[in-house]
Homo-oligomer: A and B are copies of this chain.
Amino acid sequence: MFKLLKTEGKARRGDFKTVHGTIQTPVFMNVGTAAAIKGGLDSFDLKEIGCQVELSNTYHLHLRPGDKVVKSLGGLHKFMNWDRPILTDSGGFQVFSLSKLRKIKEEGVYFQSHIDGHHIFMGPEESMQIQSNLASTIAMAFDECVENPCEKDYAKASSQMTVRWLKRCKAEMERLNSLDDTINKKQMLFAINQGSTYADLRIENMKQIADLDLDGYAIGGLAVGEPAEVMYSIIEAVEPFAPVNKPRYLMGVGTPENIIEAVYRGVDFFDCVMPSRNARHGTLFTSIGMVNINNAKYETDDSPLDPNCNCHTCRNFSKGYLRHLFKANEILALRLAVIHNLSFYNKLAADIRCALDNGCFEDFRKENIGKLSQRI
């Protein structure tokens, strides 16, 4: 289903066919945790900003409104009125970062809801069942996501358990895809590489999961506290062992420069809350660097945020108006800022694809590294 169209060094230009349409890679997926984009964007806005893949969360949707409710309403696509691919995160990361009083056992994780404290058990089978009810295009394997730094012994045992969990995920997904009342019988499953910051554990883990022939391979447990250089070195270590004919997804990453550097090292899929979270605080990405729109110097500035951006916000409103909306605590501030930042990330991925198509990705990388993260 993944077709490699072109390469430049390790960087890959590809396309990935799914039942909900073909994804052009490298791709940045737009995060809609609870089936809605923060800042008040709906599925029509997602199309307007060039989103190819929407990403929702198993943990959040299981708690609220409940995956069975979503199933009874026809699955996530019908629920949020979005006909393009959806990837659902497995809930693993959220169980470890949000829930209370968790207990990890071989069978899965016992934890309490962060909303109302009720007791929940989630293991590989439960995660697959929830994601099958949600009927996403791509499900993620249920994994343990350790914090960095992490003791090597713990990281080793955890990554080994994640492989055993992956086998159970795969078997359960195959079973679910064969059931009559499953909404998406062609739901795909991506494995997740773990092993903390230990290259040898990461490589050993990648070899084992590669053998299991999943639809895609994610690198998880990065961008959780370690320096960017460590993240890059882990990507470089595992990349040679990731199947060439499957997409690679670096979970939860990152800055525009992180994305360029990871594409350079062979990654195809990305997601991150950074563009929408930064937008909500008035930190806006532009083609010439980062803007804090709260700055007084923008008070009477009638120019658009980014002269090189064609998004709804930049086409129609001035920096002066945007700054006013932030100062007046208007929800419209969040919406226009998120529209811009997500458009910027989707355009960044499109520009990367264009550079790869034209064989000039290395020039693109040199031109943009250092520039995009400077504060202007």
Chain A contacts to B: CB under 8 angstroms: 34-44, 60, 64-65, 69, 72-74, 78-81, 299-300, 302, 312, 316-318, 320-321, 323-325, 327-328, 330-336
Report how far A69 CA is from B302 CA in the complex, Å. Answer: 11
Decide: A331 near B332, CB < 8 A? Known: A320-B69, A320-B73, A321-B79. Answer: no
On whether the beta carbons of A40 and B328 are closer than 8 Å, the reply is no
Across the interface, do A79 and B331 meet the contact criterion of CB distance under 8 Å? no
Instruction: Give A277 Cβ to nearest chain B Cβ, in Å.
Output: 13
- Chain B residues with CB under 8 A of A317: 42, 81
Chain B residue with minimal CB distance to A328? B34
Taking a contact as CB atoms closer than 8 A, the residue among B35, B78, B321, B335 that contacts A324 in the complex is B35
Identical subunits present: 2
Task: Tell me which of A78, A302, A317, A332 has the highest count of chain B C-beta atoms within 10 A of its own C-beta.
Answer: A332
Give min CB distance, A317 to chain B, whole Å: 6
> Known: A64-B324, A64-B328, A73-B318. Is A334-B40 also a contact (CB below 8 A)?
yes
Closest to A336 in B: B42
Take A69-B300, A73-B302 as given contacts and tell me if A331 and B321 are in contact as well, using a CB distance cutoff of 8 Å: no
Q: State A35–B322 Cα separation when bound (angstroms).
A: 11
Interchain CB contact under 8 A, A331 and B331: yes
> Is the pair A36, B320 in contact by a Cβ cutoff of 8 Å?
no
Q: Are A36 and B328 in contact (CB under 8 A)?
A: yes
State which of B64, B332, B336 has its C-beta within 8 Å of the C-beta of A37: B332
A331 in complex: contacting residue of B38, B44, B64, CB < 8 Å: B38
Return A215 CB to nearest CB of chain B, in Å.
Answer: 28
**CB-based contact B299/A65 at 8 Å:** yes
> A36's contact among B73, B312, B330, by CB below 8 Å, is which?
B330
Asked, given contacts A36-B332, A40-B331, A331-B331, whether A72 binds B300 with beta carbons under 8 Å apart, the answer is yes
Set of chain B residues within 8 Å of A60, measured between Cβ atoms:
328
